Structure 1
């Protein structure tokens, strides 16, 4: 088999396997007393393959207990988004910023491309209408996802 196909299949298999793993919501510490209507809800994209590696500089648990929904206070947030892959592959994390509005729902979307046996991906956050609300945050130092 060619390497390009193996990479694509590996990413697809990882996404399919993780689709069955549902996690509980993650609420940013300090917001536990706030009603859900005062927070923004962010959901993992297709097949639950994306996750927040960090929110506003704080690491978010995502390995032992997969999270597919995050509840954040309103305002601008600096996030680092990761893509779950199988152990043989490692995807770089992506730093971005977006403004969360109370009571709104957002989705982390992604796209995977393969070329010459190598895979790359890009991610972004959309609002309920499908409009992109995130932008790149090249100022952030991005740790490698493990």
Structure 2
């Protein structure tokens, strides 16, 4: 690990810890949650969250579609569930309510400056980080989605 990365981890380790606590997941690669929190346009030794957000969106869709298929859900109901769970405004609300604004890097510290789209993408990026760090373990992804509040509690009425 180079010195710049060591310094980054030492300075921002609290952010990684906060995300581990929020997601109830311990990262092997401590830079992944920092990348998930790093908004586009910020120059650092870690990547911004754009790629992780793409991974997160794709794997959450994969999980929900596969889970619905395994439960013999009607394809229209799966589509409704995708919209319900992965809607950007819902992702942004969850991220805001969970305090992601204080951990996100690249915007002014005031949460008033955080656009809902950046917050939604950060939630997606965190799910992408969990998926990659867990070597593609969909159970770990499910647990993180439950921990952050993306999925309804077992037994809750779904919109389908």
Q: Which has the higher contact order (CA 8 A, sep 6+)?
A: 2
- Tell me the TM-score normalized by structure 1: 0.26
Greater share of strand: 1
- Tell me the TM-score normalized by structure 2: 0.24
Greater share of helix: 2
